[in-house]
Structure 1
Amino acid sequence: MDRIYIEYDNAKITFGDGILLNVEMYDGRTFDNLEARRLFPITGIDKYITLLDEEGNEKAVIRDVNYLMDESRVCVKKALEEYYLVPKILYIIECYEKFGLMKMKVETDRGIYSFDIKSRYNDIKILYDGRVLLRDASDNRYEIEKFDKLDKRSKKLFNSYM
């Protein structure tokens, strides 16, 4: 079976149950209750989104969410936002090392979190676009959207353990 690509206006995407999506192709084919997943979740946030059925089979791929019709784009972005819920770090309140763990207390867009990072080399990724991705000991993820936009104190705390 050939891969189906969704681009521009060749499909209409709407919400199904919860964060699941329904797709109606321009040729009349329909796919219901599809899960949207990023093929490149770190570097390609809005590009190459796979749509999977309930058995995990790929039904279609969206090449670039930003080129979809407005209604479809909103639905896909909302579904991805809900699935990939990653709190955005606004301030670093505490950052210190204890028993080989990097301990952090941060304020995020979702509230205050305290967590431990096992390995600063494996669990902290500094990306070319200024983002910093962190994974805690419980495998939860956090993001600093623009490291250079953090306040001076937060940067100093973070850099002292990097």
Structure 2
Amino acid sequence: MIPTTTAATPLAAIALRRNSFGRLIFIGADGVESENVIPVRAFPIGAPDHGISIVSSDGHELAWIERLEQVSAEVRGLIEEELASREFMPEILRIVGVSTYATPSDWTVETSRGITTFTLKGEEDIRRLPQSALLIADSHSIQFLVRDQKALDKHSRKILDRFL
């Protein structure tokens, strides 16, 4: 069983603020401040709001948050803001087309952040995830998420089938 916090930091005592440079500062229950802390999701795709660790700049866990809803709205806002600035994973909504069915190939896709084109180096850059999700890495290592390949339109599924 995963603990809800580290031994020294109960959830109610979790406090975060930003310094003058915009970096996060964690204030422990004992009042000790740790600068440049980073929130890290344990399961960024499968359970993004569950299992978040607050980690010091040297990699030590300062606090464990089982569910994001357990912390105050202010702390939750800072964590979500920090995660959004660090995580960039557009979700593919539709595959418009591919340049060729051999790799490398250029893919034009409609994502949650607009239409874009990327290069798929090889079929091994498409990873299957639980519940028919896929993670596709482009030639620059940018990760694109297909949350549910069965929910894509017929044309998109047909293209995907050629690469899977």
TM-score by length of 2: 0.76
Which residue matches 2:162? 160
SS for the counterpart of 2:163 is coil
Displaced runs of 4+ in structure 1, greater than 6 A?
none
Which residue matches 1:103? 106
Q: What do the CA deviations read for 1:78-129 (whole angstroms, capped 9, x no partner)?
A: 2112201111212111135365324311111222221122222x31122213
TM-score by length of 1: 0.77
Q: Gapped runs of 5+ residues in structure 1?
A: none
Which residue matches 1:69? 72
Pair 1:81 & 2:84 matched = yes
Q: What do the CA deviations read for 1:115-155 (whole angstroms, capped 9, x no partner)?
A: 122222x3112221342211111111111223232222222
For 1:36, which of 16, 39, 42 is the aligned residue?
Answer: 39
Q: Which amino acid in structure 2 is aligned with residue 139 of structure 1?
A: S
Higher strand share: 1
The 2-side partners of 1:98 and 1:35 are apart by 40
Of 107-116 and 42-51, the range deviating more from structure 2: 42-51
Q: Which amino acid in structure 1 is aligned with residue 157 of structure 2?
A: K
Q: Which amino acid in structure 1 is aligned with residue 158 of structure 2?
A: K
Q: Which has the higher contact order (CA 8 A, sep 6+)?
A: 1
Q: Which amino acid in structure 1 is aligned with residue 148 of structure 2?
A: K
Aligned partners of 1:6 and 1:63 also within 8 Å: no
The 1-side partners of 2:10 and 2:99 are apart by 47
Pair 1:146 & 2:148 matched = yes
